[in-house]
Amino acid sequence: MNEEDLVQDAVTEVTENTDAQTVEENEEGIELTDTTSNEERKNVKEYTEDEIEKLINDRVNTILPSKIEREKRKIEKDYRDRLAKYEETESILTAGLGTKDITESNKKMREYYEEQGIKIPTIEKRFSAEEEKILGEAEANQIIKAGYDDIKDEVNRLSSKGFDNLTNREKVILSKIGPELTYENNRRELKALGVKDEVLNDPKFKDFSSQFTSNTPIKTVYEMYTKLYQPKPTVENPGSMKNTNKDNKGVKDFYSREEALKFTREDFDKNPALFKAVEQSMLKW
């Protein structure tokens, strides 16, 4: 049963309750016909369109979540029951064939039987590559809409299978929800540091962070970004500029991430060559 059916059930229930209430109000023998007097009509509850809509919405909000949850549990149970039938088979095959999963077992068995001259029919794909892409994107959008926990669970599930073992549809899903998870994790980590969400969406910060590998913590990226590009909170005394080192003395060709983080904004201001060396080093991290 889909969500539309569940909503229709709620609407039907409200309508039936409304009809029942009308019958109860007239069970004393008042028969509403075209000849009923105006006084008698006043005793009958009449609902405006807004009141009926409110009744329906209230009822939907009350029973729809519980019905959806019941349907979800039923589907999950059916799925677990069907999956249980194949789990033992997979365990036997992987142990007997020395494989790591059912995909590898299938491949090994197919190769064996074909060597024996037995032709194993190929299962025809139900959907084309383009259809799989469309379906994958639609499913990914549903997962994203469901929220952070669903995104994280699905990314972990797909990642645990190994990229080569994913179906084309699953690869599309992972390619779409993976960046969403990364973005949300980064947003939460920066928020804990007191950084506003606008920073992640800033084109300059995006361009800067793209120079780092995906394994670089967003905190490290932000610290380097702040040191290199964010304006200083106070104006430095112009007289101090006399001490600026204009040559490359003492500046290495490469600095590791750990070394670069030890420098301060003042170090970069005093030695532009150091700033340039660190900036070039980041491309190699």
- pLDDT at residue number 254: 83
Instruction: Indicate if the pLDDT at residue 32 is higher than 50.
Output: no
Q: What integer is the mean pLDDT of 269-275?
A: 79
Cα 194–Cα 195–Cα 200 angle in degrees, nearest 5: 155
First-to-last C-alpha distance (Å) of the chain: 52
Which residue is associated with the tokens 């991290």? 285
pTM given for the model: 0.46
Other C-beta atoms closer than 10 Å to the C-beta of 72 total 10
Which residue is associated with the tokens 């309508």? 15
Q: How far apart are CA 9 and CA 236, in angstroms?
A: 70
Q: What integer is the mean pLDDT of 5-13?
A: 52
Cα 58–Cα 60–Cα 63 angle in degrees, nearest 5: 105
Which residue is associated with the tokens 């030695």? 271
Q: How far apart are CA 277 and CA 281, in angstroms?
A: 6
Instruction: Indicate if the pLDDT at residue 47 is higher than 70.
Output: no
115-146 pLDDT, tens digit per residue, is 999 988 877 667 788 888 998 999 999 999 99
Helix axes 129-146, 168-192, angle to 10 degrees: 30
Instruction: Indicate if the pLDDT at residue 107 is higher than 50.
Output: yes
- pLDDT at residue number 257: 76
Domain positions in the chain: 1-23+44-96, 202-235+246-282
171-214 pLDDT, tens digit per residue, is 999 999 999 999 999 999 999 989 888 888 889 898 888 888 87
Instruction: Indicate if the pLDDT at residue 57 is higher than 60.
Output: yes
